[in-house]
Amino acid sequence: MTAAVFFGCTFIAFGPAIALFLFTIAREPLRVIFLIAGAFFWLVSLLLSSLVWFISVQISNKDSAAQQKGLLIFGVVLSVLLQETFRFAYYKLLKKANEGLLALSQEETMPISIRQLALRYMSGLGFGFMSGAFSVVNILADSVGPGTVGIHGDSQHYFLSSAFMTMAIILLHMFWGVVFFDACEKQRWWAVAAVVISHLLVSCLTFQNPDYVASLIPTYVILFLMGVWAFYSAGGSLRNLKLCLTCKDKDFLLANHRSR
């Protein structure tokens, strides 16, 4: 659909992620490393789930449509579970690395700690970047051409809705990362289960496509809810928000400082 659509969809899909990267991660090399490590973990989980998928497709009956559909659902569920497993593995790795990093670092204070918000959301964002890239890059490549989807009867809003879905997924991964790590720290296993279930829910919503309204709107609702949850678990509160918005923050800082 030409370069206009290509750039439009790229910006929609990766806009928030790029903004976050530019303003919060790009300046500090250690953060970049953690981001990339997170992306790598997601990639490994994808590799494993693709392997299982490939083998099961080969041994299945290619002619039966019902079996293929069932296989697809199985593949999606397996992939989600593997991703979450690897998120947990990443958490464990970072926990172990904590002490090591401390020893290596030359500053007195811990340069980065698992309790820091930055670390949590970076791992989530790493997952999100990679996941978004795999969802949407081949669609973007096709969108550069002169045509659009639809000659076989499919909806022509395919590119747009894929881009919005990808944006939602990236942000969702980021929120899940925050919530997940926080929950693991505080040993709240019900929160971990909630993250996994919401991930499953969002993935299964995509089976509603090509009814894009039915799949996008619930996804965005879940996105909003997860965002709120992540905000709270990251240490935000309604009071802070109000203070921020009414610009009374300076007084608050001073007040806080004194009271310590």
Partner 1 sequence: GVTASGRRSQIAWKSYDPTLAHCNVTVWNPLGNGLSYEEYDFPIFSLKDDNDTQVIRQCYLNHNQAVNGSSPRYPLCAMQLYSHMSAVTDTATCMRRNDINFSISPEMVCDPLGDFNVWASTRPLNNTEKGHKMWEKVVIAAARLDSRSFFFDVAPGAESGASGFITLLAAAHALRNVTQEAQPNRTIFYTFFQGETFDYIGSSRMVYDMENNQFTVDLDNVHSVLEIGQVGLHGESRLWLHSDPVSRRNSSVNEEVRKLIENLQSAAAGLGFTVGEAGFSQPLPPSSFQRFLRARQIPGVVIENHQLNFTNRYYESMYDNAEYLNVSYPPNLTPEEQLKFVTDTAKALTEVATMVARALYVQAGGAENQQDNINADRQIVSQMLYGFLVRSNNSWFQQLIPSDLTSHLSKLILNYTSSEPTLLVQYLLANLTGSAINITQENCQNQREDENDKESKHMFTYMWVQGAAPPNNTKREGFCVRSTVRLSRAVSPAFELRDYTSKDYSTWTESRWKSIKGRIFLVASHELEMLTLGVGVGVLLASLLLTYIISSKADILFSSGREPT
Which amino acid belongs to residue 80? V
What whole-number distance in Å separates Cα of residue 172 and Cα of residue 170? 5
CA separation for the pair 228, 253 (Å, rounded): 24
Specify whether the CB–CB gap between 242 and 214 falls below 8 A.
no
Question: For residues 148 and 2, what is the distance between their CA atoms, to the nearest angstrom?
Answer: 9
Which residue, 70 or 150, has its beta carbon nearer to partner 1?
150
215: nearest Cα among 151, 149, 168, 152: 168
Min dist. Cβ of residue 115 to partner 1 (A):
6
Question: Among candidates 39, 213, 50, which has minimal Cα distance to 132?
Answer: 39
Nearer to partner 1, 14 or 53 (CB): 14
How far apart are CB 221 and partner 1 at their closest, in Å?
19
CB nearer to partner 1: give 163 or 202: 163
CB of residue 6 vs partner 1: minimum separation in angstroms? 9
Q: Which tokens sit at 105? A: 């670092």
Residue ranges in contact with partner 1 by CB under 8 A: 1-2, 4-5, 7-12, 15-16, 18-20, 22-24, 109, 113, 115-117, 145-151, 156, 159-160, 163, 167, 233-237, 240-241, 243-244, 249, 252-253, 256, 260
Within a 10 A sphere around the Cβ of 214, how many other Cβ atoms? 13
- Minimum Å distance from CB 45 to partner 1? 27
Question: Measured between alpha carbons, how far is 208 from 191 in angstroms, rounded to an integer?
Answer: 27
Which is nearer to partner 1, 201 or 213 (by Cβ)? 213
Taking the least distance from each CB to partner 1, the nearer of 62 and 152 is 152
CB 167, min distance to partner 1, A: 7
